[in-house]
């Protein structure tokens, strides 16, 4: 795939829609549909959704880049107020198309998989929940603002939440303890507001589900995630497999780590430190890591290298940590131009490498499938999308010397693999927690915390909070933005990791074949549901008996032999 005429992020613009322009644009599309021009109606519908999507992505990105920017916050508030109106128009048109007598014409115009997705979408909205959706967005924004406001004094410096990462991984155990204690203190001080935000979100989502005819939010949440080919029972079995096959292994590895380091216990502030020499870190700062990334992609594949160069030169990377910047990392996309954008917070730890490769996997997939005929196909469901990102992290392993130096490359690979294993029970715990919360929406904050402590004992029995009061009280989960902003997302990482490890196993036998298979999967985008995409790449479904055990066993063998 050739990189076309370069585009710069600064050149991307999007008109701000209004209720009047939405009414006008959808009226025109509906008129075409009424006249029997189904193909043109579907084409204009697709273009309009791309335009609205680009505008919404720009607004969200600008807010995340500076949550203190009053103008960006006002634009986000306006977007959150308008999007339910846009969703009302969009759902109405989808309903009309789905009800059309000539189903073949609709499928020919939109695509069979898009039509299947629309059938899910129409079950997630009715006009009576417009105000609820606006309220949900505002509560989510408040969580982002609050967690982005963290400022902690440590080691003579004032740092934000992301900036605490080097201290949380420091070889000095006392400094790690201090870092976690101060983070725990921030969340403890704000626990009442965080509890209230989540309580409001849970009850709001439950209310929307009831208005739409569901018993609770679980069924609605799965539809909002556009899950076509599996459900809660499948996910529950996968969680059970993690608890049965991964949790005991991680418990043994944690005990080995305790013995290696000579600790009395493994406390929460010890879990991030894997390497007795100190976790490997990037060779340099932001500029050096960005340049090392280019060298890595040059070595990996010409197509990937050219894409990364276009991203960097076009201003589609925002990787420096700074005050008031939103936490975490993500990849967004601008559907009108087919270019993605990577947002992250580099802080000088190995996590910088992980986020650079993880979000690059998302970005490369988005770019690879940008020319697919439907906007519904450009980005797959999140469990499929995480295959691209997590596989890319592992496919970067042979090139780790460029990022951390030759001497630390094997240590980095070992650390990265080691970190994968405890992430699986953690994600299963977060997912199980959400299922229990939304099945019992009237739980009090104290009952939610008790539920979290019970589930932690099941999935992560090694976890010991020591003197961290908020964590010991069951408040750790409040650090996880996905629970507030993207309910039921967490298991997607665990499902994708099973598939990513299969790509990793394949790459150890024949790297070039594995990379070509990976690129082919990226090009398919979201043109099929999860399990079909998995099969198309020659992968075994995570729901198949033995799939998880085989993947984890391969990691275990690698760690034991290295």
Which tokens belong to 112? 């069979």
The confidence score (pLDDT) of residue 4 equals 62
The Cα–Cα gap between 206 and 218 comes to 9
Question: C-alpha angle 432/388/408, rounded to 5°?
Answer: 95
Rounded to an integer, the average pLDDT of 270-274 is 96
The span from the CA of 468 to the CA of 448, in Å, is 18
Overall average pLDDT of the 495-508 stretch: 97
Give the model's confidence band at 560: pLDDT under 50 very low, under 70 low, under 90 confident, else very high: confident
CB of 161 within 8 A of CB of 190?
Answer: no
pTM of the predicted protein model:
0.95
For residues 326 and 149, the answer to whether their CB atoms sit within 8 Å is: no
Tokens representing residue 261 in the block: 């380091």
Banded pLDDT at 559 (limits 50, 70, 90): confident
Whole-number pLDDT of residue 119: 97
Phi and psi at residue 342, to the nearest 5°? -105, 125
Looking at residue 202, the DSSP 8-state letter turns out to be H
State the average pLDDT over residues 458-479: 98
Cα–Cα dist 127/84, whole Å = 8
Q: Give the angle subtended at the CA of 188 by the CAs of 184 and 193, to the nearest 5°.
A: 135
Token duo for residue 542: 């995570």
Q: What is the pLDDT, as a whole number, of residue 562?
A: 61
Average pLDDT over residues 114-136: 97
- Is the pLDDT at 452 greater than 80, yes or no? yes
Q: How far apart are CA 333 and CA 154, in angstroms?
A: 36
Does residue 114 have a pLDDT over 80? yes
Bridge partners (DSSP) of residue 157 are: 154
Structure tokens, 48? 């309009």
Question: CB–CB of 164/154 below 8 Å?
Answer: yes
Contact between 462 and 251 under an 8 Å Cβ cutoff? The reply is: yes
Cβ neighbors of 436 (< 8 A, separation 6 or more) are: 451, 455
Q: Across 417-534, where does the E strand assignment appear?
A: none
Give the pLDDT of residue 97. Answer: 97
Q: List % helix, strand, coil for the chain (3-state, nearest 5).
A: 70, 5, 25
Q: Encode pLDDT of 273-294 as tens digits.
A: 999 999 999 999 999 999 999 9
The share of the chain scoring above pLDDT 90, in percent, equals: 97
pLDDT at 360 over 80: yes
Cα gap 98→117, rounded to integer Å = 11
Contact assessment for residue 489 and residue 384, using Cβ atoms and an 8 Å cutoff: no
- Which residue would you say has higher pLDDT here, 92 or 2? 92
Is 105 a residue whose pLDDT tops 60?
yes
The residue-averaged pLDDT of 391-420 equals 97
Residue 164 has pLDDT above 70, yes or no: yes
Residues 11/3, Cβ–Cβ less than 8 Å: no
Q: Name the DSSP class of 334.
A: E
Residue 430 backbone phi and psi in degrees, to 5: -65, -40
Give me the numbers of helices (H) and strands (E) for the chain, helices first please: 26, 5
Cα torsion through 525, 529, 534, 538, rounded to 10: -80
Assign 342 to helix, strand or coil.
Answer: strand
* Confidence bin at 1 (pLDDT 50/70/90): very low
pLDDT, position 3: 64
DSSP 370-423: TTSSSHHHHS--HHHHHHHHHHHHHHTGGGTHHHH-HHHHHHHHHHHHHHHHHH
Task: Tell me the pLDDT of the chain averaged across its residues.
Answer: 96
| Pair 293, 300: CB distance under 8 Å | no
Q: What pLDDT score does 426 carry?
A: 98
Measured in degrees and rounded to the nearest 5, phi and psi for residue 152 equal -120, 135
CA 99 to each of CA 41, 107, 468: distance values in angstroms, whole numbers, following the listed order: 15, 12, 56
CA gap 369, 526 in Å, rounded: 8
Q: What digits encode the pLDDT tens for the residues 418-442?
A: 999 999 999 999 999 999 999 999 9
The pLDDT of 211-236, averaged and rounded, is 98
pLDDT digits (tens, 9 = 90+) for 75-97: 999 999 999 999 999 999 999 99
Q: What percent of the chain has pLDDT over 70?
A: 99
Write the DSSP string, 51-75. HHHHHHHHHHHHHHH-TT-HHHHHH
């Amino acid at each position: 795939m050739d990189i076309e005429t370069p585009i710069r992020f600064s050149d991307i613009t999007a008109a701000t829609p209004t209720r009047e322009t939405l009414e006008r644009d959808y009226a025109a599309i509906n008129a075409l549909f009424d006249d029997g021009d189904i193909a043109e109606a579907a084409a204009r519908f697709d273009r309009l959704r791309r335009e609205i999507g680009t505008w919404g992505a720009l607004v969200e990105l600008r807010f995340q880049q500076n949550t203190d920017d009053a103008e960006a916050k006002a634009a986000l508030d306006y977007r959150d107020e308008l999007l339910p109106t846009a969703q009302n128009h969009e759902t109405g048109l989808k309903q009309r198309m789905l009800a059309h007598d000539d189903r073949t014409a609709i499928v020919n115009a939109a695509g069979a998989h898009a039509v299947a997705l629309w059938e899910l979408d129409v079950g997630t909205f009715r006009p009576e929940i417009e105000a609820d959706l606006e309220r949900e967005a505002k509560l989510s924004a408040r969580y982002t603002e609050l967690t982005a406001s963290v400022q902690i004094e440590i080691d003579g410096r004032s740092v934000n939440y992301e900036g605490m990462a080097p201290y949380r991984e420091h070889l000095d155990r006392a400094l790690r303890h201090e870092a976690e204690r101060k983070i725990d203190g921030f969340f403890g001080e704000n626990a009442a507001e965080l509890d209230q935000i989540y309580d409001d979100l849970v009850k709001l989502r439950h209310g929307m589900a009831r208005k739409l005819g569901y018993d609770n939010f679980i069924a609605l949440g799965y539809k909002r995630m556009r899950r076509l080919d599996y459900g809660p029972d499948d996910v529950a079995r996968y969680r059970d497999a993690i608890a049965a096959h991964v949790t005991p292994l991680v418990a043994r590895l944690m005990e080995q780590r305790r013995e290696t380091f000579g600790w009395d216990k493994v406390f929460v502030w010890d879990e991030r430190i894997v390497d007795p020499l100190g976790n490997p870190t990037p060779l340099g700062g932001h500029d050096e890591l960005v340049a090392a990334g280019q060298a890595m992609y040059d070595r990996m594949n010409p197509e990937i290298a050219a894409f990364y160069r276009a991203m960097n030169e076009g201003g589609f990377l925002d990787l420096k940590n700074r005050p008031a910047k939103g936490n975490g990392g993500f990849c967004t996309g601008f559907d009108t131009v087919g270019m993605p954008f990577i947002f992250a917070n580099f802080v000088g730890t190995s996590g910088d490498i992980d986020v650079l490769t993880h979000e690059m996997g998302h970005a490369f997939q988005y770019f690879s499938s940008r020319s697919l005929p439907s906007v519904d196909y450009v980005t797959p469901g999140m469990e499929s999308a995480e295959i691209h990102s997590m596989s890319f992290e592992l496919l970067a392993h042979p090139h780790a010397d460029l990022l951390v130096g030759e001497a630390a490359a094997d240590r980095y690979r070992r650390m990265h693999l080691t970190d994968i294993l405890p992430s699986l029970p953690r994600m299963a715990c977060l997912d199980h927690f959400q299922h229990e919360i939304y099945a019992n929406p009237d739980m009090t904050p104290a009952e939610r915390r008790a539920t979290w402590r019970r589930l932690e004992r099941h999935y992560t029995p090694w976890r010991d909070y020591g003197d961290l009061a908020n964590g010991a009280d069951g408040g750790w989960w409040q650090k996880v933005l996905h629970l507030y902003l993207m309910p039921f997302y967490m298991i997607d990482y665990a499902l994708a990791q099973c598939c990513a490890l299969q790509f990793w196993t394949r790459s150890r036998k024949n790297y070039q074949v594995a990379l070509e298979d990976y690129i082919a999967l990226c090009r398919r985008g979201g043109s099929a549901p999860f399990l079909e995409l998995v099969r198309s790449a020659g992968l075994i479904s995570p729901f198949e008996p033995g799939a998880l055990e085989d993947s984890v066993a391969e990691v275990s063998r690698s760690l034991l032999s290295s």
